[in-house]
């Protein structure tokens, strides 16, 4: 496996800290609103990475945190009249629902910030002891960036000019210093700590959780791979790296992976620009797997320009896979390694080269249709093809649905019930050898645009295009 490491700015051969195992950490959502396509892109990239590593035989421990305490959550709670816990739970649930719809597997661990306060205060204490942190008069604690010789080495920045995300506080020793702990003096939401009541800084959460849940002690790095969106490289990941380096006896991650932005018309998708697409809205119009296919279709490091025409083209490409799956429906066979399986993993091992993976998939579908047309009963070929399709399902996450159900997307419940009733009546008529009725029922289904297929496991239907 070769991974582009954004720290060393080069593609490097992957070598895990412990043979056969991979520890992966990805920054997760702050749960105060529904997920948009940008969240989906990041989750998809690391879902793909996990699947590829597992296909290579690695035992992957993947942690993605949930930031369930944050000013944005508190503000939403205040404006909606709900509690912080209710807001966090609502949007954690909606995040799960939307990501599940895209076939994104849940991480091995999903630690919540509110459950890791002790790990955070322990890290702050270490930073204070080692003089990498200081307390200002109001009780806030800051990380001293000048005390860290490695600061800015991850993001390769040379200065802090034009950085809007750096907080301006007059008592800070250096402009780049960032809060580890914010003291709370009123009745606001706060946690008890050796430094008094307060709330942890956002950057601290990830470093502390990595130590608590994933870190390999005694190794030069806490974990193998740290991932996230490119917008997190600075200051968030730079600060995470600094906290870990200065409090523990290791660097944070051996490899850093960053995925590009989702843009619309060349601009980064963001709520403030009003060009963000909530995943839940996209899921009303498109099957989750179509969105998965589309969002994964370009290399993860490049920016992804969202465009509905491309989305429709992606759907047509995925439809071809499902049409082929219909030709193999009912077939079951042991999974074997095929040349396609090997080739697919070879291209994905090169820093997740999805363009080549998609091209291989297109070639497979075209050649399979030709072969099945020429020789529909070739059992050996059909069984091998089934194994190749199963690899696509496991590694890329495409084609996991019943192909007949896939083509029913968007048909409303009332219509589905009506169609199912007509199909049941037709089956009963056939069983009673009442062929006049069964033909009339088939005609009725055809009139409303439904095509039916009788198979050994039942009758399936889809809407004709
Ligand atoms: Zn993080």
For 249-287, the pLDDT digits (tens) are 999 999 999 999 998 877 777 666 666 689 999 999 999
Instruction: Find the range with the poorest average confidence among 71-85, 396-410, 449-463.
Output: 449-463
pLDDT > 70 in the chain, percent: 96
Is residue 332 exposed (0-12), middle (13-18) or buried (19+ Cβ within 10 Å)?
exposed
Q: How confident is the model at residue 188 (pLDDT cuts 50, 70, 90)?
A: confident
User: How would residue 16 be classed by pLDDT, with cut points 50, 70 and 90?
Assistant: very high
pLDDT at 161: 60
CA of 7 to the centre of ligand 1 (A): 15
Place of tokens 């209710």: 86
How far, in Å, from the CA of 206 to the mean position of ligand 1?
5
Give the distance (Å) from ligand 1 centre to CA of residue 252.
11
Ligand 1 centroid, distance to 240 Cα (angstroms): 7
Q: How far is the CA of 28 from the centre of ligand 1 (A)?
A: 7
CA 135–ligand 1 middle distance (angstroms): 23
User: Cα of 237 to ligand 1 centre, how many Å?
Assistant: 6
- 201 CA → ligand 1 middle, Å: 11
Mean of per-residue pLDDT scores for the chain: 94
Q: Does residue 158 surpass a pLDDT of 90?
A: no
Q: Any alpha helices (H) in 116-220, and if so which ranges?
A: 117-129, 202-213
pLDDT at position 330: 79
The answer to whether 365 touches 16, Cβ cutoff 8 Å, is: no
3-state secondary structure of 253: strand
d(CA 383, CA 361): 17
- 3-state SS class at 373: helix
- For the chain, give every domain's residue range: 2-124+204-264, 319-406, 411-463
Task: Render pLDDT for 414-449 as a digit per residue (tens, 0 to 9).
Answer: 999 999 999 999 999 999 999 999 999 999 999 999
- Higher-confidence residue: 368 or 159? 368
Residue 454: band (very low, low, confident or very high) from pLDDT cuts 50, 70, 90: confident
User: Is the pLDDT reported for residue 298 higher than 90?
Assistant: yes
* Exposed / middle / buried, residue 13 (Cβ in 10 Å: 0-12, 13-18, 19+): exposed
What is the model's pLDDT at position 165? Answer: 59
Residue 225 C-alpha to ligand 1 middle, in angstroms?
12
> In this predicted structure, what is the pLDDT of residue 301?
97
Q: Inform me whether the pLDDT recorded for 164 exceeds 60.
A: no
Looking at CATH, the fold of the domain delimited by 2-124+204-264 is given as Rossmann fold (3.40.50)
Contact 29, 282 (CB under 8 A): no
Q: How far is the CA of 203 from the centre of ligand 1 (A)?
A: 6
pLDDT(463) > 70: yes
Q: Report the separation in Å between the CA atom of 23 and the middle of ligand 1, taken as the mean of its atom positions.
A: 15
What are 317-364's pLDDT values in tens digits? 999 999 999 999 878 889 999 999 999 999 999 999 999 999 999 999
Tell me what the mean pLDDT of segment 402-409 comes to.
91
Q: Give the per-residue pLDDT at 273.
A: 61
Whole-prediction pTM: 0.93
Task: Give me ligand 1 centre to Cα 43, in Å.
Answer: 14
CATH number for the domain whose boundaries are 319-406: 1.20.120.640
Distance, CA 285 to ligand 1 centroid (Å)? 32
Q: How many angstroms is it from 27 CA to the middle of ligand 1?
A: 4
Return the pLDDT at 460. Answer: 87
Cα(26) to ligand 1 centroid in Å equals 7
Average pLDDT over residues 123-129: 98
């Amino acid at each position: 496996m070769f991974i582009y490491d954004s720290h060393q700015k080069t593609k490097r051969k992957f070598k895990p800290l412990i043979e056969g195992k991979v520890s992966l950490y990805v920054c997760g959502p702050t749960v105060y609103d529904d997920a948009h396509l940008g969240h989906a892109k990041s989750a998809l990239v690391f879902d793909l990475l996990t699947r590829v590593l597992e296909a290579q035989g690695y035992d992957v421990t993947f942690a993605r945190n949930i930031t369930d305490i944050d000013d944005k959550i508190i503000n939403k709670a205040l404006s909606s009249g709900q509690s912080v816990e209710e807001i966090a739970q609502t949007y954690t649930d909606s995040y799960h629902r939307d990501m599940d719809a895209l076939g994104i597997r849940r991480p091995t661990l999903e630690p919540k910030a509110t459950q890791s306060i002790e790990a955070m205060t322990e890290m702050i204490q270490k930073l204070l002891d080692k003089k990498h942190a200081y307390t200002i008069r109001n009780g806030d604690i800051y990380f001293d960036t000048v005390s860290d010789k490695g600061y800015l080495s991850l993001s390769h920045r040379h200065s802090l000019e034009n950085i809007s995300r750096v907080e301006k506080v007059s008592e800070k020793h250096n402009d780049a210093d960032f809060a580890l702990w914010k003291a709370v003096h009123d009745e606001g939401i706060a946690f008890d700590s050796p430094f008094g009541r307060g709330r942890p800084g956002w950057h601290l959460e990830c470093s502390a959780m990595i130590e608590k849940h994933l870190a390999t002690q005694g190794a030069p790095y806490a974990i193998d791979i740290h991932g996230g969106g490119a917008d997190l490289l600075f200051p968030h990941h730079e600060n995470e790296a600094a906290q870990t380096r200065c409090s523990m006896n290791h660097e944070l991650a051996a490899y850093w992976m960053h995925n590009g932005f989702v843009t619309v018309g060349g601009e980064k998708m963001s709520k403030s620009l009003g060009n963000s697409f909530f995943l839940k809205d996209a899921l009303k119009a498109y099957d989750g797997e179509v969105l998965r296919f589309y969002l994964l279709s370009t290399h993860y490091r490049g920016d992804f320009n969202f465009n509905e025409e491309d989305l429709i083209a992606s759907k047509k490409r995925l439809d071809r896979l499902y049409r082929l799956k219909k030709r193999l429906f009912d077939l079951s066979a042991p999974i074997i390694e095929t040349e396609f399986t090997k080739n697919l993993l070879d291209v994905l091992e090169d820093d997740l080269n999805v363009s080549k993976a998609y091209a291989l998939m297109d070639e497979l579908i075209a050649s399979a249709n030709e072969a099945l047309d020429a020789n529909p009963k070739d059992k050996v070929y059909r069984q091998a093809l089934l194994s190749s399709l199963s690899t696509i399902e496991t590694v890329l996450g495409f084609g996991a649905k019943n192909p007949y159900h896939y083509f029913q997307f968007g048909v409303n419940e009332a219509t589905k019930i009506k169609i199912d009733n007509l199909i049941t009546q037709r089956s009963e008529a056939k069983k009673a050898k009442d062929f006049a009725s069964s033909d009339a029922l088939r005609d009725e289904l055809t009139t409303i645009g439904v095509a039916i297929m009788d198979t050994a496991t039942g009758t399936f239907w889809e809407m004709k295009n």
